[in-house]
Amino acid sequence: MIPKKLIESALGRAMRTGGDFAELYAEDTRSMNLSMMDGKVETAAGTRSRGAGIRVYNGLLSVYVYGNDISEAGLMRLAEQAADAVGSLRGKDADVTLVGSVCANIHPVKYLPTDVPGTRRVDLVKRAYAAAKDYSPEIAQVIVNLIGSEKDVLIANSEGLMLPDKRVRTRISMTSVAAGNGETQTGSESPGALKGFEFYDEIDVEKLARDASKRAITMLHAENCPAGVMPVVMDGGFGGVIFHEACGHSLEATSVALGNSEFCGKLGQQIASEKVTAYDDGTIPGEWGSTNVDDEGTPTTKLLLIENGILRNYMIDRLNGRRMQMAPTGSARRQDYSFAPTSRMRNTYIAAGTDDEDEMISTMGDGLYCAKMGGGSVNPVTGEFNFAVSEGYLIRDGKIAKPVRGAALIGRGGETIMRIDRVGPNMTMAQGMCGSLSGSVPTNVGQPRIRISSMTVGGR
Amino acid sequence: MDKNAFIKMVFEKAKAAGFSDCELIVSSGEEFEVNIFKGEILQYTSASSDGIGFRGLYNGRMGSSSTMVYDEEAADQLVTNALEAAVLIENEDVQFIYGGDEKYPELESYYPALADVPAADKIALAKELEKTALSLDERADRTEGSEVIYSMGSSRIVNTKGLDVSSQVNMTAAFIAPVLTENGKSSTDFVVESATDFEALKAKKDEMAQRAVKTAADFLHAKSIPSGEYKVLFDNDTFSTILATFSGVFSAENAQKGLSLLKGREGETIAAECLTITDDPLRPGSMASRPFDAEGVACYAKNVVENGKFVTLLHNLKTANKQGVKTTANAGRAGLSGSVRVAPTNFYVQPGTRTRDELAADVGEGLLITQLQGMHAGANGVTGDFSLAAKGYVIKDGKIADPAEQFTVAGNFYQLLKDIVEVGCDLKFGMPGGSCFGSPTVWVKGLSIAGQG
């Protein structure tokens, strides 16, 4: 993408005002998207974006400069701007020697999404649309979006690293709108992977489309969820969003290094119920949140976060590692070249336990069973989190009584993960986009079915 | 390659490829951001970027593509990608490339002095902002961020029908989020203010710090509240957020796709009589202001809801043609290669006459909500349903009293519009981006609150 000599010069120039470390991140991304509404292809577009950013450290000072002119003149200009922001005394360019290397690719791709003929893409989207629409006459609209991207990155730094990586991602999202009695309700499924178009041969797109429609209809005929404090059972898959919000963000060095997390200084201490063991794993082949190396060129890891309730590790990027005097964990991520990287989750999940799935419900008394969760958010400083339930059922006396809509769950992370009193045996994951300081990145959430002894449930 | 030469080349290649008409949007931007932590620079970011988006009519279908590279190969790719897209599109709506209007409104949206503010001054302001905030309360020992940003964007639309219009906007903003800790409990609040004059932004520093620290301090001692139905005041910032979240229901595109319940209801009363919602693209000093929309149509101000009556959906040329009305010049473009959609500009609730305290006095017993969280998950722009984590203050004996947290507020946007009792006089706009939303304090008759107890 960029000649080695040029990168060496740019990194050297970037350090001429006293910087002790310089890094270049360049990317060239081709993406395609296709959307369908009313059974017709509504939009189709091909996009190419290309750009680079140069980051310079001087101790804990971090400067990031980016642009999309990656010519020699463009890169040297970025390097000079970065240097001038680090200090005003211009010394000599630093000597930087890069050793080109390659990273082992553990995420093989068969069909690049951008290579797949348009007609095949249209065919897939139509199958999903038809399955969702034909599910019931109450389905008034179905929206299908198909996204494929091929991101070539190049990461180089003044320690000599020069590493290219390729990330190919594929995702289809299906949203069904059920309408009746002047109201609408929605249901959606959005499977994705760090794979090519072969992903669609591995999943049953039509079944997922019908699931989305089924959920929309269930919710159309559901009553509003009552408000109150009650026990809550959450299924696997997207249920893992609870760990993501209640705990995951607060274990990112982004918050921890600045003292802005309720879990600061708690390594080796119990922060969760003994039932909880959790990982953040960037190495699972083909998973949505995986990569070979992180966006600083550090190989990704399978990181034990919590072991039987005891906090074992934080997710750490290079800069915050300096601040915390701890080694990076391959967790540095960014949406694209327009963001400086910081520590972020990859595929984060509560590991399988041994509790019986039926017993959790039959012994819970009155409460809420969440078959499918929506997204959420958290303030790591206070630990206050919230998330939405997209398919919920009221439990009365240990039995599923009726579907309820509009439930929201809130709490404080630390308190909530101490209240996990059951963890089931079947861990599943689901895909999401996570937004934070370094933009929106693909992440997996996951867990087996779990129970929380008491939570505040919002409804009306 | 020179941009004008590139444009000419693309137009020629597009014509040769069979496009009947086509259009380019040439955009460029600059970003600057500095974040201070404990007196030192935590993050310094600066950038400039540009790109070109193409859209063209091929057998009546609109294909689009974009590039950030300007050579002959890129020109070929732009045309080929758009052509491949156009042949896949099946939607039969009539599409438009617009020749332009005779006159465009004059608009002050670019402030040259802002572009010349040295980085050192912006860094100094971010440092002072942090220092001020941390000096106000001994429980404040750090922040989640003390930032100053600058942003500039320019765009030019040029097409084969003879349109060639340009506009440029810029602004600066500051952000402070102090963290207060007492007895192991932390609390934080953030305040963000934008300006078109750097001195004006500096002048806001003390008030910003005071407001953020006071709110964070209030919530150190906040408690949850009993569940139940409450009379609710949403403060101006919070109702702006609600309006932003549900603004899609006013899009003609969503209505035509069955994604808004306002389809075909023009002329009906959909809200309380005290509610008027305006879309004003000409508001001075907002980054969301524009003389022309994404299709090059001259912009103008209009009421979307007037005294509770629904006046119009927001339209672009395609949706207006489909419904047999005139466009409201609300075409917006999602990214360079995104298709033309519908987007509000400065979209706001017109203010009433009384202050927030006067409204609270009449509420008597109820709740003032000052923060909502998780809008992206707990609010559904299609159904209008929301169920959201919130913070605020209990209203007791007509006075704004104890801080409250760890509760949720739930309702439906369409119903909420009807349940508005009164709007306050304190109209305030949120951070301007592609769109900018504003509102005064809004009193809602009753909403369901879930708390602990």
The 3-state secondary structure of chain B reads CCHHHHHHHHHHHHHHHCCCEEEEEEEEEEEEEEEEECCEEEEEEEEEEEEEEEEEEECCEEEEEEECCCCHHHHHHHHHHHHHHHHHCCCCCCCCCCCCCCCCCCCCCCCHHHHCCCHHHHHHHHHHHHHHHHHCCCCEEEEEEEEEEEEEEEEEEEECCCCEEEEEEEEEEEEEEEEEEECCEEEECCEEEEECCHHHHHHCHHHHHHHHHHHHHHHHCCECCCCEEEEEEECHHHHHHHHHHHHHHHEHHHHHCCCCCCCCCCCCECCCCCCCEEECCCCCCCCCCCCECCCCCECCCEEEEECCEECCCECCHHHHHHHCCCCCCCEEECCCCCCEEECCCEEEECCCCECHHHHHHHHCCEEEEEEEECHHHHECCCCCEEEEEEEEEEEECCEEEEEEEEEEEEEEHHHHHHCEEEEECCCEECCCCCCEEEECCEEEEEEEEECCC
* pLDDT tens track for B89-141: 999 899 999 999 999 999 988 999 999 999 999 999 999 999 999 999 999 99
Task: Test A186 with B69 for CB contact under 8 angstroms.
Answer: no
Q: What CATH architecture does domain B3-220 belong to?
A: 2-Layer Sandwich (3.30)
pLDDT band at A375 (very low <50, low <70, confident <90, very high): confident
Query: Residues 437 to 456 of A: which have CB under 8 A from any B CB?
Result: 456
Average of per-residue pLDDT values in chain B? 95
Q: Report the residue from A51, A227, A412 with minimal CB separation from B227.
A: A227
Q: Check residues B290 and A114 and name the one with the higher pLDDT.
A: B290
In DSSP terms, A52 is beta-bridged to A26, A67
Instruction: Tell me how far apart the alpha carbons of residues B313 and B255 are, in angstroms, rounded to a whole number.
Output: 8
Which residues in chain B are closer than 8 Å to A66, comparing Cβ atoms?
45, 47, 49
The pLDDT value recorded for residue A17 is 96
Cite the residue boundaries of each domain of chain B with CATH code 3.30.2290.10. 3-220
Which residues in chain A are closer than 8 Å to B337, comparing Cβ atoms?
45-47
Q: For A439, left (φ over 0), alpha (ψ -120 to 50), or beta?
A: left
* pLDDT tens track for B373-384: 988 888 999 889
Q: Which residue type, as a one-letter code, is found at position B165?
A: V
Instruction: Tell me how far apart the alpha carbons of residues B71 and B60 are, in angstroms, rounded to a whole number.
Output: 28
The pLDDT value recorded for residue A271 is 97
Assess contact for A345 and A244: CB atoms under 8 A. Answer: yes
Distance from the B88 Cα atom to the nearest Cα atom in chain A, whole angstroms: 7
The pLDDT value recorded for residue B334 is 78
Task: Test B44 with A228 for CB contact under 8 angstroms.
Answer: no
Instruction: Tell me how far apart the alpha carbons of residues A153 and A164 are, in angstroms, rounded to a whole number.
Output: 6
Which residues in chain B are closer than 8 Å to A141, comparing Cβ atoms?
257-259
pLDDT band at B337 (very low <50, low <70, confident <90, very high): confident
Q: Report the residue from A41, A63, A182 with minimal CB separation from B90.
A: A41
Which residues in chain B are closer than 8 Å to A338, comparing Cβ atoms?
47, 49
Q: Which of A54-58, A439-443, B62-66 shows the lowest mean pLDDT across its residues?
A: B62-66
Kindly tell me if the per-residue pLDDT of A114 is higher than 90.
no
Which residues in chain A are closer than 8 Å to B373, comparing Cβ atoms?
377, 379, 384, 386
User: What is residue A245's three-state secondary structure?
Assistant: helix
Distance from the A238 Cα atom to the nearest Cα atom in chain B, whole angstroms: 13
Distance from the A162 Cα atom to the nearest Cα atom in chain B, whole angstroms: 23
Q: Which of A137-151, A372-386, B190-204 shows the lowest mean pLDDT across its residues?
A: A372-386
- Return the number of CB contacts < 8 Å for A and B: 238
Assess contact for B211 and B191: CB atoms under 8 A. Answer: yes
Q: Check residues B353 and B376 and name the one with the higher pLDDT.
A: B353
HSE toward the beta carbon, residue B343, CA cutoff 13 A:
23
Residue in chain B closest to A434 (alpha carbons) equals: B376
Kindly tell me if the per-residue pLDDT of B33 is higher than 80.
yes
Task: Test B387 with A81 for CB contact under 8 angstroms.
Answer: no
Mutate to test the interface with A, among B27, B34, B45 (most CBs of A within 10 A): B45
Task: Test B410 with A118 for CB contact under 8 angstroms.
Answer: no
First to last CA, chain A: 56
φ, ψ at B413 (rounded to 5°): -60, -45
Average of per-residue pLDDT values in chain A? 95
Q: Report the residue from A37, A384, A386 with minimal CB separation from B388.
A: A386
Residue B194 in tokens: 């934008």
* pLDDT tens track for A425-452: 999 999 999 999 999 999 999 999 999 9
Kindly tell me if the per-residue pLDDT of A102 is higher than 90.
no
pLDDT > 90: what percent of chain A? 90
DSSP H/E element including A433:
strand A428-436
The pLDDT value recorded for residue B433 is 81
* pLDDT tens track for A406-426: 899 999 999 999 999 999 999
Task: Test B373 with A384 for CB contact under 8 angstroms.
Answer: yes
Which residues in chain B are closer than 8 Å to A182, comparing Cβ atoms?
261
- CB burial string A275-299: b at 16+ within 10 A, e below: bbbbbbbbbbebbbbbbbbbbbbbb
The pLDDT value recorded for residue B335 is 79
Residue in chain A closest to B68 (alpha carbons) equals: A49
Task: Test B408 with A229 for CB contact under 8 angstroms.
Answer: no
φ, ψ at B254 (rounded to 5°): -60, -40
Q: Report the residue from A45, A67, A456 with minimal CB separation from B49.
A: A67
Instruction: Tell me how far apart the alpha carbons of residues A229 and A410 are, in angstroms, rounded to a whole number.
Output: 10
Task: Test B65 with A46 for CB contact under 8 angstroms.
Answer: yes
HSE toward the beta carbon, residue B215, CA cutoff 13 A:
18
User: What is residue A278's three-state secondary structure?
Assistant: strand
Assess contact for A140 and A109: CB atoms under 8 A. Answer: no
Q: Report the residue from A64, A338, A458 with minimal CB separation from B43.
A: A64
Instruction: Tell me how far apart the alpha carbons of residues B341 and B435 are, in angstroms, rounded to a whole number.
Output: 13
In DSSP terms, A165 is beta-bridged to A153
In DSSP terms, A134 is beta-bridged to none
What is the CA B354 to chain-centroid distance, rounded? Answer: 26
Question: What radius of gyration do chain A's Cα atoms show?
Answer: 24
Kindly tell me if the per-residue pLDDT of A47 is higher than 90.
no
Assess contact for B51 and B182: CB atoms under 8 A. Answer: no
* pLDDT tens track for A76-98: 999 999 999 999 889 999 999 99
pLDDT band at B158 (very low <50, low <70, confident <90, very high): very high
The pLDDT value recorded for residue B417 is 98
Distance from the A106 Cα atom to the nearest Cα atom in chain B, whole angstroms: 31
In this prediction the ipTM stands at: 0.88
The pLDDT value recorded for residue B453 is 64
Q: Report the residue from A60, A387, A406 with minimal CB separation from B374.
A: A387
Q: What is the largest CA-CA distance in chain A?
A: 76
- Mean pLDDT along residues A282-298: 97
Query: Residues 356 to 385 of A: which have CB under 8 A from any B CB?
Result: 374-377, 379, 381-382, 384-385
Instruction: Tell me how far apart the alpha carbons of residues B446 and B418 are, in angstroms, rounded to a whole number.
Output: 11
Q: Report the residue from B64, B383, B407 with minimal CB separation from A45.
A: B64
pLDDT > 70: what percent of chain B? 100
Assess contact for B385 and A178: CB atoms under 8 A. Answer: no
Task: Test B377 with A81 for CB contact under 8 angstroms.
Answer: no
User: What is residue A311's three-state secondary structure?
Assistant: strand
Kindly tell me if the per-residue pLDDT of B338 is higher than 80.
no
Q: Report the residue from B88, B389, B409 with minimal CB separation from A34.
A: B88
User: For chain A, which domains are there?
Assistant: 4-29+47-100 (3.30.160), 228-458 (no CATH)
DSSP string, A5-60: HHHHHHHHHHTTTS-SEEEEEEEEEEEEEEEEETTEEEEEEEEEEEEEEEEEEETT
What torsion do the CA atoms of A122, A127, A130, A134 make, to the nearest 10 degrees? Answer: 180
* pLDDT tens track for B412-428: 999 999 999 999 999 99
Q: How far is CA B98 from CA A175, A217, B58, B164, in A?
A: 33, 42, 15, 10
Tell whether A147 is within 8 A of chain B (Cβ).
no
* pLDDT tens track for B171-227: 999 999 999 999 988 999 999 999 999 999 999 999 999 999 999 999 999 999 999
* pLDDT tens track for B398-407: 999 999 999 9
Residue B128 in tokens: 């002072």
Residue in chain A closest to B43 (alpha carbons) equals: A62
